[in-house]
Copies of this chain bind each other. A is one copy, B any other.
Amino acid sequence: MVPAQPDMERGLTLKADKPIIKSFLWQDFYKFTMGYFVYHLYKDVTVRYAFKNRTTGIHIGNLIDIGALKEELDHVRTLHITRSEHHYLRGTFEYGNKMFSDDYLDFLRDITMPDYHFEVVDGQIALEFEGPWSTAIYWEIFALVIVQTLLGRAVLKRHSRFELDAVRAEGVRRLADKIAILKTRPDIIFSDFGTRRAFSPEWQEYVVGALSEELPGGYQFLGTSNVWLAMQYGLLPMGTDAHERTMVIAALMDNDPEGNGVRAAISTATQQWWDLYNYGLSIALPDTFGTDAFLRSFTPAQAYTWKGFRQDSGDPLDIIGNKYIPFYRQCGMNDGEIRGKLAIPSDGLELPLMTKITDTFKDVVRISSGWGTNLTNDLGLKTLSIVIKVVSANGRGTVKLSDNPTKAMGRSEDIARYMKIFVYGAHDSVECKY
């Protein structure tokens, strides 16, 4: 297939197609890399995911079209990968010889997504997904994209034709500004990580289409986490690992009051990932229980062999400069070796911050940014902070601490326990277990 030309007309209408999710590949790539890992090792673990609106002042349940929401969620349950999508995933060559097994791909061909639980409570939507981890894992992206798109429709509902035109113009103008800056700074390397927060699938396709035309070649605009868009536009599909993987493994290993199982979960998750994918997907996501705890468990051999880190919470300048780099040094690496490593900031990036990170670590470490909301939902409209997170595994509560204490997730007693187990916040100096 020739890379599609971005359909300017279509992206510009701001009209959402029906159905919103038109393909099972409208997913972040890491859902498939984790999905295969889960299929391979944790197939029958029962997990529960819950929707959360962090912007509590906005009552989503009163705002969006509930009938459309259910219709769109029901539609997702009819999706499978098509024959050509099967070819595409099976033929993925960028991260190793044969990353997905045929039985996993057959499973995706025959998959039926588990049912959802939905109600409106005090004007907010309560939306939960429970089922085998191997299938429920795909709900997060599908459901977030649907809610996000319906929110956008609700916001624009009372706009006149001219007002719609003005919103569109603002979105294009902002994208044009970004592209103009990027063209003067070819050293700012980035990928589209904005599927879950995009204004709509059509808008994201417009943005990615424009980027692939304006910054062609895959040198600066490396690729997209959106598998459908990667396939459609001939871009590199991007992504490796997310927090849910270590969160669930920790919950499953939580078999002793002292927390030895939970503590060991980090290195178990790390090793199992390597065993499955080796070098190809060796980007560690160290902040699930705080980066300090992760670095304590990461061996010098792993520091040498893994490609690098994704930095997803806390201050990227601090985390990269004061944790990753000193850690690599303590592991015995010289400047040249560290320059070969990769750091992928992916938390709430905007172009000024991306520029600052790039400038700061020029000649120190390779930086490649995962650009989300600000890339795919920047039309001058208010955006909400909505998430869907795994909340339990085989009935046990899951926890995420991250490097930003206000972003901790889980039951408060579980959070407190995990903080104690990981001595959260106490370790400011970086150690390497030489």
Contact = CB atoms under 8 A, between A and B. Distances in A.
A86 B88 CA distance: 8
Nearest to A105: B93
A414 interface: no
A2 interface: yes
Nearest to A232: B1
Contact of A91 (B2, B92, B232): B92
A125 to B, nearest CB: 27
Contact of A87 (B83, B91, B98): B91
A25 interface: yes
Interface in A71-85: 82-85
A236 interface: yes
Nearest to A25: B1
A90 interface: yes
Interface string A104-146: 0100000000000000000000000000000000000000000
A228 interface: yes
A102 B87 CA distance: 15
Given A1-B231, A228-B1, A231-B1, A87 B88 contact: yes
A332 interface: no
A97 B98 CA distance: 11
A230 interface: yes
Interface string A221-237: 00000001011111110
Contacts of A83: 234-236
A91 B237 CA distance: 15
A89 interface: yes
B84 A231 contact: yes
A22 interface: yes
A17 to B, nearest CB: 10
Contacts of A98: 98
Nearest to A92: B87
A348 interface: no
Among A1, A90, A102, A236, max chain B CB count under 10 A is at A1
A264 to B, nearest CB: 37
A212 to B, nearest CB: 11
Interface in A374-388: none
Interface of A: 1-3, 22-23, 25, 82-93, 97-98, 102, 105, 228, 230-236
